[in-house]
Amino acid sequence: MSDADTDTEERIREAIARPKNMGEMADADAVGTVGSPDCGDMLRMWLKFSEKDGRKVIDRASFQSFGCQTAIAVASVATELLAGKSVEEALALEAGDLSQPLGALPPMKIHCGQMVEGALRQALEAENEDAAALAPAPSLPADSTLLGRISGSRTGTGAKLRVVKLEDEDE
């Protein structure tokens, strides 16, 4: 194992031990939730916006991870990195950018970073869409799966919520 791999593992361990910005955000403006068909894990991200120099920027971000420790590590560093970014800047960030403070994720864990990217995109898109058009994934029976339970649960905020499944890479 290379030194870089060891460093990444250590950073992931530290981020899991002391995650930043973990938990529901009561006054969020937008929420995004994604689920991975590969591992069954889910991740939710809340965003709060503010105005800075006439631009809409992310004031703060928080998250909850359902089932995945690596996603906790990526979401922790990503939510720190997102503070102060404009919506356009945030939309330009990919999974590798969001997990960059941890170093390169091992191949088996790359989809954990993609979960964070997916939740961020959902929240940003939810903010830009009419709340009336937002609905849980229609193909999933309510309450029969983790996804159904989460999509049917309250967000705890007046934030806009949409739940989607990430693309299955095998398809």
Out of 62, 70, 122, 151, the only residue in the binding site for ligand FES (CB under 6 A) is 70
Out of 58, 68, 123, 159, the only residue in the binding site for ligand FES (CB under 6 A) is 68
Binding mask 115-144 for ligand FES (x = CB under 6 A): x-----------------------------
Q: Within 10 A of 141 (CB to CB), how many other CB atoms are there?
A: 8
CA distance 48 to 73: 20
Residue 39 is a catalytic residue: yes
CA distance 128 to 133: 11
Residue 68 is a catalytic residue: no
Per CB under 6 A, 71 contacts ligand FES: yes
The answer for residues whose C-beta is within 8 angstroms of residue 81's C-beta and 6 or more apart is 93, 97, 98, 100, 101
CA distance 54 to 21: 26
Shortest Å, Cβ 89 to ligand FES: 24
Instruction: State which of positions 38-67 bind ligand FES (CB under 6 A).
Output: 39, 41
> Would you name the residues annotated as active-site residues?
39, 112
